[in-house]
């Protein structure tokens, strides 16, 4: 079993299901795929994975979520885990939020909703092969 994980964060379950399915189809058993419906839940998942010595290699986060915007969440992630790959998924993020995430969260990429499976897997492949 893999000891590396990809975490997807979005407040819409249908989006999480799609992301997980597309990632599994591309990467199979190469990674563990975790999902969270909020930033708070994502931090809980991160803590559990760390306790199990599973390295998170990438986080795909929605921008518009209750409680905290995706750019703010990814900045917090980057402060704690500077080598973790951050990807923002958005249908509504403004350019300022994307720029802020690029500068303060080392944003690897952003995908606009609706994204294609090819876009998603290409971004992840590029990120993990750098």
Q: Per-residue pLDDT tens for 13-29?
A: 999 999 999 999 999 99
pLDDT at position 92 is 82
Q: How confident is the model at residue 95 (pLDDT cuts 50, 70, 90)?
A: confident
Cα end-to-end span (Å), the chain: 23
Please give the average per-residue pLDDT across 98-107, as a whole number.
Answer: 95
For β-strands 55-62 and 4-9, DSSP reports them as parallel
Closest CA to 16 of 4, 33, 40: 33
Contacts of 12 (CB under 8 A, 6+ apart): 62
> Average per-residue pLDDT in the chain?
94
Among 31, 22, 91, residue whose Cα is nearest residue 62 = 91
Enter the tokens of residue 96: 């300022």
CATH number of the domain where residue 121 is located: 3.40.50.2300
The tens digit of pLDDT for each residue in 25-54 reads: 999 999 999 999 999 999 999 999 999 999
How does residue 2 score in pLDDT terms, banded at 50, 70 and 90? low
* Residue 94 confidence class, pLDDT cut points 50, 70, 90: confident
For residue 49, the model assigns a pLDDT of: 97
Instruction: For the chain, state the CA radius of gyration.
Output: 13
C-alpha dihedral sign at 46, 37, 85, 28: positive
* Cβ contact 27:8 at 8 Å: no
Q: Which domain holds residue 103?
A: 4-128
**So what's the pLDDT on residue 91?**
84
Which pLDDT band, with edges at 50, 70 and 90, does 125 fall under? very high
* Total of domains in the chain: 1
């Amino acid at each position: 079993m893999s000891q590396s994980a990809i975490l997807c964060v979005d407040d819409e379950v249908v989006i999480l299901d799609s992301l997980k399915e597309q990632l599994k189809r591309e990467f199979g058993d190469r990674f563990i795929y975790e999902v969270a419906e909020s930033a708070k839940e994502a931090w809980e998942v991160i803590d559990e994975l760390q306790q199990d010595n599973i390295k998170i290699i990438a986080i795909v986060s929605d921008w518009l979520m209750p409680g905290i915007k995706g750019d703010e969440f990814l900045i917090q992630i980057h402060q704690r885990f500077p080598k973790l790959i951050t990807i923002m998924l958005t249908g509504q993020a403004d350019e300022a939020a994307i720029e802020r995430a690029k500068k303060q969260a080392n944003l690897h990429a952003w995908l606009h909703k609706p994204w294609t499976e090819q876009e998603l897997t290409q971004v992840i492949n590029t990120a993990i092969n750098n």
